[in-house]
Amino acid sequence: MAELVFFSGTMDCGKSTLALQMDHNHRARGRGGVRFSRNDRAGESRISSRLGLETDAVEVLDGTDFWEEVMRRRTHGQRVDYLICDEAQFYTPEQVEQLAKVVDEIDVDVFAFGITADFRTRLFPGSQRLIELADRVQVLQVEALCWCGRRATHNARTVDGVMVTEGAQVVVGDVDMAADGTAASDAGHVPVVGYETLCRRHFMRRVTAHGANLMAEQDQLLPFDVDACLWHGSGGPAAGT
Ligand SMILES: Nc1ncnc2c1ncn2[C@@H]1O[C@H](COP(=O)(O)OP(=O)(O)O)[C@@H](O)[C@H]1O
Ligand SMILES: Cc1cn([C@H]2C[C@H](O)[C@@H](COP(=O)(O)O)O2)c(=O)[nH]c1=O
């Protein structure tokens, strides 16, 4: 029986890699599939993994109707046994409902991959609907890590290296883009948006790797415990543990 499975985790935990592996394995056994993605970092109509794999995909647009997509292909004689749906957090709730219908009505497996929450810890509408409707939500085994070594559970957004908690929900970007803020004062400087995976403790305290490095430098002058440092006056929550 076909399934709707949501493979989820933070950024950089291997979702796209798994999407390409699953596509490969099913295809190798003679099954026919269609790969979809939306807003991949590598550009339109791509699925890219940081391990270096990259392939073509059908770009999902606001007007994409998955039910019609599958029906049209089948009418033209194309075999469709499964769908690979990467960056599924960007799909609309209606599109997720179409995916569920494809599973239930015509027995097509749907493997969706995406992050659940945005840089403010709020669920993406598409991810929320996937959690509500999926047969299974599977958290990826490979864990992205916080700079402190704990398991990363949250996706922080940085602008010129500084963690932010306001802004548009969707800004395509990558980890490893956390600038150190030195260019911010340059005339004509275009702010660099990046992401960093953090554990909840450091997300709530707004301590990114860059911030931790700065504190470690200060620590050499004025010894104090980085984890005990509260961000009073910074606008961030002052966790007391
Ligand atoms: N140079 C590398 N060597 C080994 N593994 C790597 C390398 N670069 C990235 N990775 C792995 O790839 C993972 C990211 O895979 P990717 O599919 O792009 O993640 P996601 O789609 O979840 O953002 C990292 O967590 C890491 O395990
Ligand atoms: C947290 C967060 C992320 N995004 C974007 C950034 C990336 O382009 C994708 C996630 O891709 P990945 O393959 O899982 O690394 O989502 C966003 O637009 N808004 C956010 O809040």
- The per-residue pLDDT for range 139-196, each reduced to its tens digit, is 998 999 999 999 999 999 999 999 999 999 999 999 987 555 555 557 788 899 999 9
- Shared-domain flag, residues 128 and 164: no
Please check whether residue 239 lies inside any domain of the structure: no
- End-to-end Cα separation, the chain, in angstroms: 48
pLDDT band at 233 (very low <50, low <70, confident <90, very high): very low
Identity of the amino acid at 130: L
> Does residue 203 register a pLDDT over 90?
yes
Q: For residue 239, what pLDDT is reported?
A: 37
pLDDT band at 238 (very low <50, low <70, confident <90, very high): very low
Please check whether residue 165 lies inside any domain of the structure: yes
Domain enclosing residue 182, as ranges: 154-230
Q: For residue 56, what pLDDT is reported?
A: 98
- Shared-domain flag, residues 68 and 131: yes
Please check whether residue 88 lies inside any domain of the structure: yes
Q: For residue 61, what pLDDT is reported?
A: 98
Place of tokens 């799909």: 91
> CATH number for the domain including 47?
3.40.50.300
- Of the residues 68, 87, 105, 217, only one is catalytic, namely 87
Q: What is the mean pLDDT of residues 74-99?
A: 98
Place of tokens 């999926």: 134
- Shared-domain flag, residues 100 and 210: no
- Please tell me the distance between residue 173's alpha carbon and the centre of ligand 2 in angstroms: 6
| Interface predicted TM-score of the whole assembly (ipTM), two decimals | 0.98
- Shared-domain flag, residues 164 and 127: no
Counting beta carbons within 10 angstroms of the beta carbon of residue 224, is it exposed (0 to 12), middle (13 to 18) or buried (19 or more)? exposed
Nearest to 169 by CA among 132, 124, 131, 136: 124
Choice between 220 and 169, residue whose per-residue pLDDT is larger: 169
Q: What is the mean pLDDT of residues 109-137?
A: 98
Nearest-atom index, ligand 2, CA of 117: 1
Place of tokens 């046994």: 81
- Please tell me the distance between residue 235's alpha carbon and the centre of ligand 2 in angstroms: 24
Q: Which of 139, 174, 202 is the last residue of a domain?
A: 139
Q: Which of 106, 139, 172 is the last residue of a domain?
A: 139
- Shared-domain flag, residues 20 and 99: yes
Q: Please, what is the average pLDDT of the chain? A: 90
Q: What are phi and psi of 20, to 5 degrees?
A: -70, -35
Q: For residue 184, what pLDDT is reported?
A: 57
Please check whether residue 213 lies inside any domain of the structure: yes
Which amino acid residue places its CA nearest to atom 13 of ligand 1? 14
pLDDT band at 234 (very low <50, low <70, confident <90, very high): very low
Place of tokens 């957090």: 89
Choice between 239 and 37, residue whose per-residue pLDDT is larger: 37
User: What is the Cα–Cα distance from 191 to 136, expressed in whole angstroms?
Assistant: 39
Q: Which of 139, 171, 201 is the last residue of a domain?
A: 139
Please check whether residue 147 lies inside any domain of the structure: no
- Shared-domain flag, residues 134 and 160: no
User: What is the Cα–Cα distance from 235 to 99, expressed in whole angstroms?
Assistant: 41
Could you tell me the sign of the dihedral formed by the alpha carbons of 109, 21, 155, 228, in that order?
A: positive
Domain count, the chain: 2
Q: Read off the tokens for 28.
A: 């190798």
Please check whether residue 149 lies inside any domain of the structure: no
SS3 189: coil
SS3 214: helix
pLDDT band at 241 (very low <50, low <70, confident <90, very high): very low
- Shared-domain flag, residues 72 and 170: no
